[in-house]
Structure 1
Amino acid sequence: MNESEFRTLSAAVPAAGAADEHCPVRRRLLLAALAAAVAGPLQALETTATVQAVTVSYGRLWLDESGRVLPQARAALSLLADAASHGLEPQDYDAAGLALVFARPFPSPREADAADQALTRAFERYLSELHRGRVDPASLRHDFQVARSDPFDPAQALRLALERQDPAAAVAAAVPQLPLYGRLRLALARYRQLAGHPAWASPLPPLPRAPKSRSAKLEPGQSWAGLDLLAQRLRVLGDLAPAAAVSAQAAAAPTVQTAALLPGALAPAANELPRYQGDLVEAVRRFQLRHGLEADGVIGSTTWTQLGIEPAARVHQIELALERLRWTPFLQSRRMVVVNLPEFVLRAYEVADDGRVQLALESRVVVGRALDTRTPLFDEDMRFIEFSPYWNIPPSIARSETVPKLRRDPGYFDRMGFEFVGADGSVQRGLSSAHLDAVLAGRMRIRQRPGEHNALGDIKFVFPNADNIYLHHTPAVDLFGRARRDYSHGCIRVEKPVELAEFVLQGMPGWDRARIEAAMAQGKSNTLKLAEPVPVLLSYGTTLVKGDQIFFFNDIYGHDRVLTQALQQRSRSRAK
């Protein structure tokens, strides 16, 4: 390449300046041209080996022999520009820079080859991150075995799609094959449209404070200056019907803003404020239900905080949910049990003969305490069910809770059906200080016999794992009635254990509901091996779409915050 050719290439690429910092493809092309002009051979390019390999093995993917842009290239550039619809960043794939490069003619075959390969690398990276995500879940202490052995090959997916001249087919193959993924994308688009909506232009006013009370809350029947703004937000979010009106009845002092924000709302008379009642209370209950709160219609500090979260923050929450779906191993078998920890819900799925995924069971659960005994995230196969199980108290619980309580209240030992087990398996049912000392020293352990007080209830579902986590029944059924249910030491208590047993014992002759209940009531420990292991996934999603409703849950373990930090660190590293 001579100096004239170099100048031609430089003119063909957009002018230098601030935009250069965001156009690495342009910089690569100019550097390539400079190297060729000075040294001559194409080997001077930093990407020479890759370019040659692609050219020899496949030829160009996006340009014809004369350097003209093929339709599939335009389709690929459009897909990269649309990365945000998947919760990804188009700039991570230099979508804008590549679009500029492919909008101009290429002065030589070498520059055309370089541009062709740049688009290939960008698109393959896009496919990889669509499929596996941008962050390795293992770096966040998520032990997902299947995700690490996923055979998806971005390069192969791209080649197969281009055989049909349809890059979109590669994208369709890369994304999680779950209906939830598509529904989350729709929710993402919807909440992006709500960003900057006037309903969030002003903050909600403080809640009324009850006389002689430190708490501030709004109960049905009370008046509040923020009702109009509240109704507007609930309308926008879909919890309040457009035609519903804020009822006006005599109350306290007037405000300047009364129903002005709401088309069709009833305007209060002088010296009156609307009362919180009727349709608005029901709308708040719907909002509370969608946000994992107690749906009592009372606006306390937690509901008030959730109502104040702007759509932009929800956009980010949905993006995190999409990221997690890419590396969380759903539906790896004909049947599967999934626990969504921040939702406090277990679901059992099965694949029908026609390939459709069906929900077979949904049950509330109690999970590990957020403060100190969080339930870990992993996937393992359930292999056993233990009826009328013993509870072997973990040493950490024995040291911190059980032994101190037994020293204070020796009668607790017999009431709860405890016994000591030696290292040789010998059993001692008498309480003594020496035995308690042996437990603290690790020479003995405490276990609880089957019975009505047993902490594991009447059934235990075993999926062997390094954290000794399992699913089980519980005598403390009152906890299932609470909205927030992180009360366990890490294991997961199931509200519907009989139904779960029916699900996992499918295909095992004789194990109907009656026999399951009889085994649970027998009071004698009995372990049953499953004929077919059932995968169990302990997952974490603070955003979920069911039907046409989107649900948001509290980040109880802080995993959303950690993932956000990991993505920010990744962006900073790539910017250097």
Structure 2
Amino acid sequence: MGRLRFATLSVIALCAACPAVFAADPAPVAAAIETGSLGGKDAEIGAAARRLIEPVAAAAHLLPADALPVDGAAAVAPPKPTPEELDRTALSTFYQARGDAPLWVTGEGFTAKARLALAELQRAGDWGLDPADFKVADIKGAPTPEALAEAESGLSLAVMAYARHARGGKIAKPAEQLSSYFDRRPQWMDRGALLSALAAADDPAPVLADLHPKHPQFNLLRQAWLETLRAKTAKGVKMPAGAELKPGDSHADIGVLRKRLGVTVAEGASPEVFDERLADAVRGFQTLKGITADGVLTAETRSKLNQPIKGNTDQLAANMQMWRYIPADLGDMHVMLNVPEYEIRIFKAGDEVFHERVTVGLINKQTPIFSDSMELVTFKSRWRVPDSIKVREIWPSLLSGGGMMRQHGLEMRRESTDELVDWRKIDWSKTPMDDYVIWQPPGKINQLGIVKFSFPNKHYVFMHDTPDKHMFAWTRRANSHGCMRIRNPLKMAEVILAADKGWDRAKIDDLVKTGPDHNLVPLDKKIPVHIVYFTARVLEGGKIETFGDIYGHENRFALALKGQWNKIKVGPDHLEPVDEKTPPRIAQRKAPKAKSDDSVAGLINSVLGGGF
């Protein structure tokens, strides 16, 4: 069995929060040190660390008996490694490649490089993270090899945790931990490349800071977050009028500037010297306020510093966290639909080329939050009723006379044979629905309207037109079964197909007028689609625009970031399969009276008229 290197260890204090399989007995280490079997400080640190980590490699005997295969039975697949375990594996490989040479300590304690890393971890709050998640015990007194091994491993694991949290790993599985509708994961991180970069850097702080999202809106939200915190801590601090000051200058006003921006001074340095860290804070503030971000304390900057921004820290932190899941590369041309805003935009080469109103899913039939790629535009599409609507809405209607089928001209086919069937001749109280599919043919009342935009996904949602144009005048437009309806879909088709195929609006209009039904137009190049959920956005000049938390995602993220998991209601998994074999209880009810047509029409409008 290959030996595991010291960086994957977590000594007793660190292993308290890890699975029991990672616990280590320090006795062999202490014995080795006491007997003098280790040579040299680095060798003592490496050997002590290896002794501490060795139980991990030999931990199979610690698995519960029911997890081990028995005679004649298939072996139980091991669980997927956790992010923390992946950290340990990467660190083990990293240290093995460097011959167990420590990264952060010498025989005397933490290096200057380690102190810089520790300082950056302590500033995690500047990025909306919790510094308590990255605590590392300091080395006190004359360090022993055991203490040095603990410090080395502790800082390495803390740095890896920081990196994961910067990419969204504080809430690693939001679809499971918060809501199945929030279908995102932390952005992928190359642990080996990160460790190599940290090893090569004299100052690890920029390497760690570079892990955070680069999206401009994330940076603006971060600056708004910092300003909101400063509004509390720097209350009453006024920036006086005065001369223009640049990095490197020394002036009494620099001390006031530090207080206003909450920037501490390095040990032994003068608070009245304009250092680079203070200049970075000034540049961030200038970016937020929409003025030249040169780090110079100009008259305009002085004036803006006396106009603090006050936002909601929980809301800003939640929105920053949601940005951490967004792909770093949105796509040269991409679609972004912000659910709480009820609006969609298309960007090309950084420019907005389309912007329209949309409607989204009901509170109990939400539009899921995820990213995928648009592959197909369909004109005059037929609509296959999703299984969830077929079972939960259409089947009860069939048991009560089939009003919904008639009202919307729906047709039924056997899925196994594709034959058209007469649904009126079937006893739906005794017939399962699993071999039947329901379609709505193209036409004026088709719920998909004239055009549909498809980006195949497990949620079975897409974007489309609608015959119910009046809904776009509503302020609150959450009224579908999850799909997104576009107010001007032909313009959207024009923008997409002009970029993809060079078509103009005349070509689009001709397809609508003379083209066949269910006319599929595959895209030559897939277009990234990002369904997002941002309830706060920073506008030019630092104004914070907010939107209603219609699905409660913001609140759940805010609670999770504060560790208040007991207050979060996750809700059922909306992707659980529906039962297509058991007739619904409505089978025991009486059929509705003829005069109830209006109420049936109302139901249809909410179920089908609102689109899927």
For normalisation by structure 2, the TM-score amounts to: 0.59
User: Counterpart in 2 of 1:281?
Assistant: none
User: Counterpart in 2 of 1:175?
Assistant: 212
Residues 387, 458 of structure 1: 8 Å contact kept: yes
User: Counterpart in 1 of 2:538?
Assistant: 545
Q: Does 1:62 align with 2:104?
A: yes
Q: CA deviation at 1:505?
A: 2.4
- Quick one: structure 1 residues 164 and 397, their matched pair in 2 at CA, closer, same or farther if it must change by over 3 Å? closer
**Equivalent residue for 1:529, pick from 513, 522, 525:** 522
- Quick one: structure 1 residues 512 and 399, their matched pair in 2 at CA, closer, same or farther if it must change by over 3 Å? same
Paired with 1:462 and 1:512, the residues of 2 have a C-alpha distance of: 20
**Equivalent residue for 2:425, pick from 424, 434, 439:** 434
Q: Does 1:480 align with 2:472?
A: yes
Q: How does 1:43-442 map to 2 (within 5 A)?
A: 47=52, 54=95, 56-57=98-99, 59-63=101-105, 65=106, 67=108, 70-94=111-135, 97-98=137-138, 101=139, 106-108=142-144, 111-137=147-173, 138-140=175-177, 147=185, 151-195=188-232, 314-329=312-327, 331-350=329-348, 352=349, 357-370=350-363, 372-398=364-390, 400-401=392-393, 416-423=408-415, 424-427=417-420, 433-434=424-425, 437=428, 441-442=432-433
Q: Which amino acid aligns with 1:453?
A: I
Paired with 1:128 and 1:399, the residues of 2 have a C-alpha distance of: 41
Q: CA deviation at 1:494?
A: 1.3
Q: Does 1:450 align with 2:442?
A: yes
Paired with 2:430 and 2:469, the residues of 1 have a C-alpha distance of: 30
Paired with 1:197 and 1:162, the residues of 2 have a C-alpha distance of: 37
1:452-505 per-residue CA deviation (whole Å, 9 max, x = no partner) reads: 222111001111222221110112122222222110011111123123223432
- Quick one: structure 1 residues 482 and 145, their matched pair in 2 at CA, closer, same or farther if it must change by over 3 Å? closer
Q: CA deviation at 1:31?
A: 10
**Equivalent residue for 2:484, pick from 474, 478, 492:** 492
Q: CA deviation at 1:376?
A: 2.1
User: Counterpart in 2 of 1:275?
Assistant: none
- Residue 324 of structure 2 aligns to a residue whose secondary structure is helix
Q: Does 1:513 align with 2:536?
A: no
Q: Which amino acid aligns with 1:122?
A: A
Q: CA deviation at 1:182?
A: 0.7
- Quick one: structure 1 residues 38 and 506, their matched pair in 2 at CA, closer, same or farther if it must change by over 3 Å? farther
- Residue 373 of structure 1 aligns to a residue whose secondary structure is coil
1:191-246 per-residue CA deviation (whole Å, 9 max, x = no partner) reads: 22345999xxxxxxxxxxxxxxxxxxxxxxxxxxxxxxxxxxxxxxxxxxxxxxxx
Paired with 2:538 and 2:219, the residues of 1 have a C-alpha distance of: 10
Paired with 1:410 and 1:125, the residues of 2 have a C-alpha distance of: 57
User: RMSD over aligned Cα, in angstroms?
Assistant: 4.2
Paired with 1:135 and 1:84, the residues of 2 have a C-alpha distance of: 16
Paired with 1:513 and 1:536, the residues of 2 have a C-alpha distance of: 22
Q: Which amino acid aligns with 1:393?
A: V
Paired with 1:480 and 1:439, the residues of 2 have a C-alpha distance of: 41
Residues 362, 480 of structure 2: 8 Å contact kept: yes
- Quick one: structure 1 residues 34 and 550, their matched pair in 2 at CA, closer, same or farther if it must change by over 3 Å? farther
Q: Does 1:504 align with 2:496?
A: yes
Residues 161, 169 of structure 1: 8 Å contact kept: no
Q: CA deviation at 1:389?
A: 0.9
Paired with 1:544 and 1:36, the residues of 2 have a C-alpha distance of: 58
Q: Which amino acid aligns with 1:124?
A: M
- Residue 505 of structure 1 aligns to a residue whose secondary structure is helix
Q: Which amino acid aligns with 2:537?
A: L
Q: Which amino acid aligns with 2:318?
A: L
- Quick one: structure 1 residues 405 and 489, their matched pair in 2 at CA, closer, same or farther if it must change by over 3 Å? same
Q: CA deviation at 1:186?
A: 0.7
For normalisation by structure 1, the TM-score amounts to: 0.62
- Quick one: structure 1 residues 113 and 461, their matched pair in 2 at CA, closer, same or farther if it must change by over 3 Å? same
Paired with 1:36 and 1:358, the residues of 2 have a C-alpha distance of: 64
- Residue 117 of structure 1 aligns to a residue whose secondary structure is helix
Q: Which amino acid aligns with 1:485?
A: R
Q: Which runs of 5+ in 2 are unaligned?
A: 1-15, 17-23, 38-43, 55-87, 236-308, 567-612
Paired with 1:403 and 1:139, the residues of 2 have a C-alpha distance of: 30
Q: CA deviation at 1:36?
A: 7.2
Q: CA deviation at 1:178?
A: 1.0
Paired with 1:142 and 1:403, the residues of 2 have a C-alpha distance of: 25
- Quick one: structure 1 residues 417 and 75, their matched pair in 2 at CA, closer, same or farther if it must change by over 3 Å? same
In terms of mean alpha carbon deviation, does 133-142 or 31-40 score higher?
31-40
Q: Which amino acid aligns with 1:546?
A: L
Task: Report how many aligned residue pairs link the two structures.
Answer: 420
Residues 128, 154 of structure 1: 8 Å contact kept: no
Q: Which runs of 5+ in 1 are unaligned?
A: 1-20, 22-27, 199-309
Residues 145, 378 of structure 1: 8 Å contact kept: yes
- Quick one: structure 1 residues 66 and 365, their matched pair in 2 at CA, closer, same or farther if it must change by over 3 Å? same
Paired with 1:54 and 1:559, the residues of 2 have a C-alpha distance of: 40
In terms of mean alpha carbon deviation, does 525-534 or 315-324 score higher?
315-324
- Residue 382 of structure 1 aligns to a residue whose secondary structure is strand
Residues 435, 444 of structure 1: 8 Å contact kept: no
Q: Which amino acid aligns with 2:508?
A: I
- Quick one: structure 1 residues 158 and 376, their matched pair in 2 at CA, closer, same or farther if it must change by over 3 Å? same
Q: Which amino acid aligns with 2:327?
A: P
Q: CA deviation at 1:404?
A: 6.5
1:343-385 per-residue CA deviation (whole Å, 9 max, x = no partner) reads: 22222233x3xxxx33332222111100x21122332222111
Residues 461, 482 of structure 2: 8 Å contact kept: yes
